[in-house]
């Protein structure tokens, strides 16, 4: 599904802020959710299809917003002027800019029998970004590290 089709599915225009897009998605999801349909399997199948289409549209728009592609012109090589990125302030997440955030430190240990390599980072992260980074660090450590002899 492309971005224009996602806008049409959600019933929004291009310039709508992401918060309004999310509100529209939630309102439509409440109307179309298969749990609201009682009775015939045909209606249940149609509601499931409509909900899957709505979810796909939301994913396309949300992904484009995360990448910054919603605010760029896609024809030719023309791109809209983007505001310069601001640095996160005290108590804001270094990754996404949300508030509140806490100072966290992660270490990744990657090793073999004879050689070890460690990496560490200290950042201010919100709960969502902190959990995401924790899971990535754990996954890398569990797949590439801790298996060698110390």
Which 3 state secondary structure label does DSSP give 106?
strand
Query: What is the Cα–Cα distance from 50 to 11, expressed in whole angstroms?
Result: 14
Res 82: pLDDT = 53
Burial tier of 81 (Cβ tally within 10 Å: 0-12, 13-18, 19+): exposed
Between helices 3-10 and 18-32, what is the axis angle to 10°?
60
Domains located in the chain, CATH noted = 3-71 (1.10.287.110), 88-150 (no CATH)
Pair of tokens at residue 33: 């959710």
Query: Would you give the end-to-end CA distance of the chain in angstroms?
Result: 50
pTM of the model: 0.46
User: pLDDT tens digit string along 37-78?
Assistant: 777 788 888 888 888 898 898 888 888 888 776 654 444 444
Pair of tokens at residue 6: 């996602």
Task: Say which DSSP state 145 is in.
Answer: S
User: pLDDT tens digit string along 74-120?
Assistant: 444 444 455 565 666 778 887 777 888 888 888 777 776 677 777 78
User: pLDDT tens digit string along 17-31?
Assistant: 888 888 888 888 888
User: How many Cβ atoms are within 10 Å of 115's Cβ, its own excluded?
Assistant: 8
Query: What is the Cα–Cα distance from 109 to 133, expressed in whole angstroms?
Result: 14
């Amino acid at each position: 599904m492309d971005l224009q089709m996602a806008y049409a599915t959600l019933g929004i225009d291009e310039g709508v802020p992401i918060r309004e897009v999310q509100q529209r998605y939630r309102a439509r999801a409440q109307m179309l959710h298969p749990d609201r349909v009682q009775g015939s399997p045909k209606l249940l199948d149609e509601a499931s299809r409509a909900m899957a289409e709505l979810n796909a549209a939301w994913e396309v728009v949300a992904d484009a917003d995360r990448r910054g592609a919603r605010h760029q012109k896609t024809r030719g090589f023309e791109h809209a002027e983007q505001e310069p990125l601001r640095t996160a302030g005290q108590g804001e997440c270094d990754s996404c800019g949300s508030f509140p955030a806490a100072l966290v430190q992660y270490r990744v240990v990657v090793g073999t029998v004879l050689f070890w390599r460690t990496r560490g980072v200290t950042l201010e992260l919100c709960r969502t970004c902190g959990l995401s980074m924790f899971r990535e660090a754990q996954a890398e450590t569990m797949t590439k590290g801790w298996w060698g002899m110390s």
